[in-house]
Amino acid sequence: MKRLKKIWWVIPAVLMWWGCERDYLFRGGDEGITFSSDTVMFDTIFTSIGSATRNFRIYNPYGSDMTIDAIRLAGGDDSKFRINVNGVPSHEVYEVPMRAGDSLYVFVEVTINPGESSDPSFVVTDSIVFSTKERNQSVKLVAYGQDVVLMRNQTIESMTFTAEKPYLIYDWLKVDTAAVLTIEEGAHLYFYQGAGLAVYSEASLKVKGTKENPVLFAGSRLEDWYLDKPGQWEGIILAPGSKNHDISYASIRNATIGLNVDSVGLDGDAPLLLSNVKIEHISKQGLVAQASSIIAHNSLFADAGSASVALTYGGHYEFYHCTIANFFNWGKYRSIPALLLSNYYFNKDNKPEIRDMEEALFSNCIIWGSNTNELGLDFEPKVKERNDKEEKNEFLLNYRFENSLLRTSLSEEQLSDKKYFNNVIVNHNPSFVDYQKYNYQLDTLSIAIDAGSMEAARKYPLDYLGNSRINANTLPDLGYIERVELH
């Protein structure tokens, strides 16, 4: 009797153990399995450089556990794509279990080899095939490949970059002493994280973009989410003693500091020329210059984590028909105004080093942003002696805003000084078309329309888009783009 009781105790235990084992014998119904997407797309993928990882989900739509017979790349071992199913990286995986109503992830990457096509831009395709029961289903894989000129930590002599292929730059690309880097219209330079462009002493940067084919300096991530993300690469440095720089129709975006200009264009050298330039989506300063000479026109400086334009330690600066805007919105408070002017810095002994602000002219410009004050004037007008020990109690302090729109907390008394402020519009919203989408053109009712001086417009009669500013019946608009009404 005791033996019989033991048997009856063992049988339920065995049945419970056996019942907990999931058999996964079901192979799916006629409808098959379902997917979160029927196509996995990769934006432009540079040759030799692996892509970011994409993923999608497989769903078991049935009330029973099931097994997927096989998951495989149609291209097999020759595929440019790689997959990972439930933590298993392989071109093919068999007998994949799925619980009732559950899902699992499939991760996909792609690497494209140079010379994959004679065309520098091409498409690579494949598919992932899912076999259940006697049914095959597939998810398409599509990648847009781009052959590139790959440059890693190079110091170059005089060289010309063309639009034939993009340039992908790792670490620093350095223009050697006395060399000239010429960048032709339509060229694209993409910089990996931590990379940048440095132009050494006596060297020159010539950027020859056009309205139809501007030159692009940007981060190397081309997915849509990264288009306006700041801080993806270091930026461009024009080092002390470099000279004869001319940048026309260039877009500089996604950098830590867009353009860093140090001791350029003074002492008889030609100023840095910025013509029809956009510097935006920057984590620190868009344009920062110290003790330099710059002439800028028809240019946009926007969306920076610090100042969009910072002109420090004196110098000579002329800005005509420029829009300096800042609505930076990448998770941190911006305390620095959109435009900062200064004539000094503190040395290692915490003493001010001061230099003449020979000129800081802003004509037909817009200085605006999300802060209540977007104009910073930070000057040290008097010191006892200069760096060379020559006695000098006064330094030049020449700055002037004329026919410009300002957002500022300066007092009415300060703004009434015609030496510094002449015919300015203060704290009136310029009414950009849509600053949240980075459209800084003027809306129909903008107060900045017909508010400019003809003198500045005659110097630069065409705006960024090639529209004429010269009209017999109206005055020019402020900013880098003229409002043109369509009739």
**What average pLDDT does this structure show over 112-124?**
74
What pLDDT is recorded for position 356?
92
Residue 346 pairs in a beta bridge with 352
Residues in the chain: 487
Do residue 405 and residue 364 come from a single domain? Answer: yes
Whether 421 maps to a domain, the answer reads yes
CB atoms within 10 A of CB 270: 14
pLDDT score of 14 more than 60 = no
What pLDDT is recorded for position 352?
86
C-alpha closest to that of 183 among 201, 202, 158: 158
C-alpha closest to that of 220 among 189, 181, 175, 246: 189
Give 17's pLDDT tier (boundaries 50, 70, 90). Answer: very low
Give pLDDT tens digits for 194-253: 999 999 999 999 999 999 999 999 999 888 889 999 999 999 999 999 999 999 999 999
Domain termination site, one of 91, 114, 145: 145
Do residue 343 and residue 402 come from a single domain? Answer: yes
What pLDDT is recorded for position 191?
96
Residues of the chain with pLDDT > 90, as a percent, come to: 72
Give pLDDT tens digits for 73-102: 999 988 999 999 988 899 999 999 999 989
- Number of domains the chain contains: 3
Q: Write the secondary structure of 97-145 as one string of H (helix), E (strand) and C (coil).
A: EECCCCEEEEEEEECCCCCCCCCCEEEEEEEEEEEECCEEEEEEEEEEE
Give pLDDT tens digits for 375-426: 999 998 654 444 444 555 578 899 999 999 999 999 999 999 999 999 999 9
Give 5's pLDDT tier (boundaries 50, 70, 90). Answer: very low
Do residue 116 and residue 254 come from a single domain? Answer: no
Domain termination site, one of 268, 302, 330: 268
Whether 17 maps to a domain, the answer reads no
Going by DSSP bridges, is the β-strand pair 287-297/309-320 parallel, antiparallel, or unpaired? parallel
Do residue 337 and residue 246 come from a single domain? Answer: no
**What average pLDDT does this structure show over 26-50?**
81
Do residue 255 and residue 329 come from a single domain? Answer: no
Whether 208 maps to a domain, the answer reads yes
Whether 328 maps to a domain, the answer reads yes
Whether 14 maps to a domain, the answer reads no
Do residue 69 and residue 41 come from a single domain? Answer: yes
Are the CB atoms for 313 and 290 separated by under 8 Å?
A: yes
Give 27's pLDDT tier (boundaries 50, 70, 90). Answer: low
What pLDDT is recorded for position 111?
87
Give pLDDT tens digits for 460-487: 999 999 999 999 889 999 999 999 887 5
Do residue 124 and residue 172 come from a single domain? Answer: no
What pTM was computed for the model?
Answer: 0.83
Do residue 244 and residue 293 come from a single domain? Answer: no
Do residue 319 and residue 441 come from a single domain? Answer: yes
**What average pLDDT does this structure show over 156-185?**
97
Give 16's pLDDT tier (boundaries 50, 70, 90). Answer: very low
Do residue 200 and residue 310 come from a single domain? Answer: no
Q: Residue 255: which domain range?
A: 148-268
Domain termination site, one of 236, 268, 300: 268
Do residue 210 and residue 324 come from a single domain? Answer: no
CA 196 – CA 245 distance, rounded (Å): 17
Whether 10 maps to a domain, the answer reads no
Give 25's pLDDT tier (boundaries 50, 70, 90). Answer: low
Do residue 467 and residue 420 come from a single domain? Answer: yes
**What average pLDDT does this structure show over 355-360?**
94
Q: Which helix (H) or strand (E) holds 232?
A: none
CA 135 – CA 27 distance, rounded (Å): 10
What pLDDT is recorded for position 485?
81
Whether 119 maps to a domain, the answer reads yes
- Provide the CATH number for the domain around residue 44: 2.60.40.2310
Whether 278 maps to a domain, the answer reads no
